[in-house]
Amino acid sequence: MSETTVGKPRVVADGPLADAILQLMGDRVELLPWDVGTTGSETPVDGIYTYGHEQVTGAMMDVLPGLKVISNYGVGVDHINLADAQERGIPVGNTPDVLNGATADMAMTLLLAAARRLMEGDRFARSPEFTHYDPGYMLGQEAHSTVVGIIGLGRIGWQIARRALGFDMRVLYHNRNPREDLPADVDVTYVDFDTLLTESDYVVLSLPLSAETEQLIGEQQLRQMKSTAILVNVARGGVVDTDALTAALREGEIYAAGLDVTDPEPLPRDHPLLKLENVTIAPHLGSATEQTRQRMAEISVENLWAGLAGKELLHRVV
Ligand code: 8YV
């Protein structure tokens, strides 16, 4: 142990961490590499900081003596075993709300790009094949004045709904239960899962990944969707059966997909999904704006400080 690390809280983190996070942490912690969570430590480890989506299990918590807090950079905590954390009395913090707007913007970006074949057009416009304009090529699907079905009308889903209303879309949603807290003058309609799938022109996924939602969208659900429908996923790749989606897109069961997330992530570089023209895909950029990332950094580091000091976290999941 060097002189500069004596007495500092020791925190296992998966990195390399963004500069903004390192700046906020300053020299207040000793950062330990992620594999300490596997090899274990004889001296106390005070915290875990998750930057990407590395798995945090009860076994990892057990080999880090004195663990006081797990702070996650992001809202989704499906990679952290919450039951194990709760059982051990270790608070888990996340960064909700600050990323609602950016993630909803990304949902609309993917929806519009997939509907209007933007990436296909971009590839064509750059290629040697684009030698003359033809009003008959690359006709897409209308986005305005259509029906969007949001699965998971939580904090992010609500922001997607507001944007869709601005596009004159009719907004359907499905949650475990209808929301009672929505403003009365906002026209969003709760429907059952099957109705949402069959009536929507756009099915947008913005729900957490859990044992109940894993592979929620599979072969049968894709078959229920319109052949002109577009699936947008800004949630987690695991909510969708990747093989079933690949087949549905290839066979024209649905029109297109706009994906910010995949399962696995990233997909193997030779995966057939990546070869399809009717997929618009981003490398998990939902909340990736400079402004949102800064706020996520601030909240996650505040959560870390609070947990290390034994205080209530700013945002605590369990
Ligand atoms: C983050 C996310 O980029 O917040 C989430 O759940 O998926 C993303 O916005 C991610 O958590 C950072 O690794």
Counting residues of the chain whose pLDDT is more than 90, the rounded percentage is: 97
State in Å: Cα 2 to ligand 1 middle: 34
Give 252 Cα–ligand 1 centroid separation in angstroms: 31
Local confidence band at 6 (pLDDT 50, 70, 90 cut-offs): low
CATH superfamily of 100-281: NAD(P)-binding Rossmann-like Domain (3.40.50.720)
Q: How far apart are CA 36 and CA 282, in angstroms?
A: 32
Task: Give the distance, in angstroms, between the CA of residue 22 and the centroid of all CA atoms in the same chain.
Answer: 23
Question: According to the model, what pLDDT value does residue 7 have?
Answer: 86
Name the residue with the closest Cα to ligand 1, atom 2.
74
DSSP-based three-state secondary structure for 298: helix
Helix axes 290-308, 100-115, angle to 10 degrees: 140
Residues in the chain: 318
Mean pLDDT of the chain: 97
- Could you say which of 3.40.50.720, 4.10.1240.10, 3.40.50.920, 3.40.640.10 is the CATH number of the domain covering 3-96+291-308? 3.40.50.720
CA distance 50 to 32: 12
Q: What is the pTM of this model?
A: 0.96
pLDDT digits (tens, 9 = 90+) for 94-129: 999 999 999 999 999 999 999 999 999 999 999 999
Nearest CA residue ID for atom 10, ligand 1: 74
Task: Please write the tens of the pLDDT for every residue from 12-25.
Answer: 999 999 999 999 99
Instruction: Give the residue whose CA is nearest to atom 8 of ligand 1.
Output: 74
Show me where the domains of the chain are located: 3-96+291-308, 100-281
Evaluate: CB of 307 within 6 angstroms of ligand 1: no
Atom nearest to 284 CA in ligand 1 = 3
- Please give the average per-residue pLDDT across 211-220, as a whole number: 98
Give mean pLDDT, residues 142-162. Answer: 98
Residue 67 gets the label, from left (phi > 0), alpha (psi -120 to 50) or beta, of beta
